[in-house]
Structure 1
């Protein structure tokens, strides 16, 4: 039923939006006769359906948001060939080989289509006289929060960017093409708008701290006030440490970020799962650690991390001859059959950084070892796969993609504590204690507070172990610093997993942001290229 609602909402979205700006791929659908632009926005169910469509937008974007934008450039991935002999995807992005002809992503990642749908949602819901103000508030809180999410992603990706806050003019009857052109707004303007959207979201949510106020059994698959608070903490922490264009880092924003994190710890009944693997289990969706997740269900869309891009051919291991770490020959260990090839593989240093007693290692990776000398040959990332359905003898790629969870709250609190000269160790050790479980020995595995540099690197390495695959590392390197107020880790050898070479040299500082393709600049006379390209 939910899938049908999503399709219904998106068909209207296509009708309302196809005449103007290019949208997300899923918008390429024909309108149905029942709901045209003149009779769709007439009752509450239409608002609900349209918001479902906006979440469908989000689901279509999640792989790009987390892996492509959040990790691929962060020194996470094998740059050429995977363990099964496959040439890996995204090599240009992984190797920082971006330019105006090969920008890595085009059309701003199609994110403006998603934003335009939210702008329509905001306009039509604010105008809705068939709903009470209280009924509207929940959906407006979601819409403003999601718009802030997209603009913050664009801000971290491009620095300066066009700010479109109204629906596509064509939707409202303005057919002047010049009104579709937009120049890039200054960094300060973009950040001001992101903060304004966050405030609007929180104001509309008000005291509504529920993850499911309408009892739709969504298991934290819809945007909530808690999601806005997590995003606000990310935004204010970023703005406290990173200068973009004319927007100078503001240390005062640390306290705002801290307040949102404390609220998340105290007001939403969140707690760490006792077993790390349970966070991602298909039998434990929407658990107490999760704040916001992208939902996948058997019979609906498949998780793109495993079904599309990481589509592991572990069945091939028995053909090319790999062992497990104990020297035992592996067959199709993950029961995925030989349905694809491994298009993305994480660097072996990530796997090797775990202690064997750290439960996160085997929950995150399957290690493939050489039969010649039992050395590590490569890894398979398996944290968010799904389950094997015995009844049909087939693997189902239905694990949720978790966007925000409590462990991230603790690690942001650790970063703030480091900036404030506080207790970093208490937050890191909350994470480690769960990771080691019955093997936990504070004397052996616990972290002890060090100087700023030691603490900052400890936080980064803990995030590597805890949150790999969750869209963090590239942004971490751009935000975190080797010394307080000093060089960002993306320019330091300590920021790379092998500690040998910085991800970017200082001469490559312009590569912190992504280029815009030449074709787009040619078509839009208001757009200018990202500086340096």
Structure 2
């Protein structure tokens, strides 16, 4: 199986799954239709495929997650000319920003699809084995947890919808926000349910094993959840990172870092979960938005450009291998307020996706990969006082890109190792939608962003980010508050 979409039954999905922009705009579905729509194994498998398809059709998962994580941080600029993306760049995001409204709707839509599967899979009796049923449920639990993790990290308290909504009754649709702790408790419960049902793999086809949730993916996500929650549980992080590293699935680092992103080595041994794209009608349009004219074939100003601060971080470390895999410089005809205030200036371009293919790229996107989990294990070891073992893991990641191992003096204390891990994660995972989460987890977002030394060349003035506690969460979309009087706004907005 090269693509999960081959399982989609168009009429079934169109008739049975939620197709609205948010969880509040839902048309009733009759019990008779629901009962007949999910009567067989292939039908419930098609519904599950619809949940995965949210990764491939959602603006947030295709592209905006990099805006939320890298543009919002010190890794990238907005580029382009979209005022809503500039709000993320300057960390001045308003409740009326259409991108947060779109993301809210995209993610809740995916959750609703997962709820369809979770409710109906236990009822299916025809053309399904118990093993298939358990695997379908495990994947649906994983996917619901993944999407709620996306929401809670960005918005804090969010409504919990754990059943498919087949009514427009406001008493059902207009839920208040559940607390952060309640949401994390549900995420962990879902992932524990997933772990009991998911296999280590689905056979020998890597394009299946990296496209579907597995035990490795569930353990990896649990590790990230336990690290990111308000009070991290680093013993649990260690438990679940070890489960990934020692998995029978046999995850291993690729020897050549550049091969992760050359377009020819997706679904590799380092990958745990990827968004799959085949190109053509099932292509990824995000690379066209970012790659320079020599690759994209067009001449308009591109989005999500690497920051001077990120490039300086690569240069300070002598990290040419990861820099060359992540950043490409090219002279352009337009004016860039950071890289060159005159035509024909050399501008940095995001380069981890390398094939534009006229809006139909076959470049996949990593959601989870082993290097991230190894560095997360190092973080857990360091926070648990096992600093020497943490440094050993950092040096494994550095060795791959031909950097010298850290010396004892460079990692003399828990705090210096903590900073070393944060830096290593930045260089390893730039443009992979991880940076803002890292800054939040390390309690560094305000300090780091207010220390960035950017000059707007169009004015010659320093850029003042002025990040405060309020900016650590996004505003709840204003149109959702207008629809649902039980929703409250985050402080400061």
TM-score by length of 1: 0.78
Q: Which runs of 5+ in 2 are unaligned?
A: 332-338, 455-461
* 1:209 aligned partner: 200
Pair 1:150 & 2:147 matched: yes
1:7 Cα deviation (Å)?
8.0
Structure 2 Cα separation of the partners of residues 87 and 195 of structure 1: 37
User: Number of aligned pairs?
Assistant: 466
1:266 alignment partner in structure 2: 246
For 1:446-470, what per-residue CA distance to the aligned partner results, in whole angstroms no more than 9, with x for missing partners? Answer: 9942323322222122112111111
Establish whether residue 118 from structure 1 lines up as the match of residue 114 from structure 2. Answer: yes
Aligned with 2:236 (options 244, 256, 279): 256
Match of 1:98 among 84, 93, 117: 93
Q: Distance in 2 between matches of 1:447 and 1:342?
A: 42
Aligned to 1:432: 398
Alignment of structure 1 residues 280-295 onto 2, 5 Å: 280-295=261-276
Q: Secondary structure at the match of 1:366?
A: strand
- Specify the alignment match of 1:232 in structure 2: 222
Query: In structure 2, do the counterparts of structure 1 residues 446 and 227 end up closer, same or farther at CA, with 3 Å as the change threshold?
Result: farther
Q: Give the aligned partner of residue 432 of structure 2.
A: 470
Displacement of 1:219 after TM fit?
5.3
Distance 1:17 1:475 in 2: 31
Following TM superposition, by how much is the alpha carbon of 1:416 offset from its aligned partner in structure 2, in angstroms?
A: 1.1
Is the Cα contact below 8 Å between 1:449 and 1:455 reproduced in 2? yes
User: Aligned to 2:305, which of 345, 348, 368?
Assistant: 345
CA separation of 1:504 and 1:404: change in aligned 2, threshold 3 A: farther
Q: Cα–Cα, structure 1 residues 503 and 134, in superposed 2: closer, same or farther, change >3 Å?
A: farther
2:350 is the alignment partner of 1:381? yes
Match of 2:458 in 1: none
Change (3 A) 1:395 1:50: closer
1:325 corresponding residue in structure 2: none
Give CA-to-partner distance per residue, 1:501-532, whole Å, 9 cap, x none.
99654xx2122111123332122121111222
456 and 3 in structure 1: CA distance in 2 versus 1, 3 angstrom threshold: closer
Shift of 1:115: 0.3
RMSD, aligned α-carbons? 3.5
In structure 1, distance between residues paired with 2:148 and 2:98: 19
Structure with the higher helix share, 1 or 2 = 2
Match of 1:200 among 193, 215, 223: 193
Is the contact between residue 230 and residue 260 of structure 1 (CA under 8 Å) also seen in structure 2?
yes
Conserved 8 A contact 1:66-1:472: no
Paired position in structure 2 for 1:492: 447
Taking a change above 3 Å as real, the CA distance of residues 448 and 501 of structure 1, as seen in their structure-2 partners, is farther
Q: Taking structure 2 as the reference length, what is the TM-score of the superposition?
A: 0.84
1:436-451 alignment to 2 at 5 Å? 436=402, 440-442=403-405, 448-451=410-413
1:513 aligns with 2:489: no
Q: Secondary structure at the match of 1:402?
A: strand
Question: What residue number does 2:417 align with?
Answer: 455
- Unpaired runs of 5+ residues, structure 1, are 243-248, 315-331, 389-393, 481-487
In 2, distance between residues paired with 1:9 and 1:237?
38
3-state SS of paired residue (1:256): helix
CA 1:379–1:24 in 2, change beyond 3 Å: closer, same or farther?
A: farther
Cα deviation per residue 1:3-26 (whole Å; 9 max; x = unaligned)?
79458446423322458773699x
Q: 2: CA distance between counterparts of 1:446 and 1:47?
A: 55
- Looking at structure 2, the residues matched to 77 and 39 of structure 1 have their Cα atoms a distance apart, in angstroms, of 49
Deviation at 1:371, TM superposition (A): 11
How many angstroms does 1:478 deviate by? 0.6
User: Hey, what does 1:304 align to over in structure 2?
Assistant: 285
Could you tell me whether the CA contact under 8 Å between 1:290 and 1:405 is conserved in 2? yes
* Alpha-carbon offset, residue 349 of structure 1: 2.2
Task: Check whether the contact 1:103–1:515 (CA below 8 A) recurs between aligned residues.
Answer: no
Q: 1-side partners of 2:341 and 2:486: how far apart?
A: 60
Query: Is the contact made by 1:291 and 1:406 (CA closer than 8 Å) also made in structure 2?
Result: yes
Residues 290 and 406 of structure 1 are in contact (CA less than 8 Å); yes or no, is this contact kept in structure 2? yes
Q: CA deviation at 1:442?
A: 4.0
In the alignment, the residues of structure 2 paired with residue 19 and residue 377 of structure 1 have an alpha-carbon distance, to the nearest angstrom, of: 43
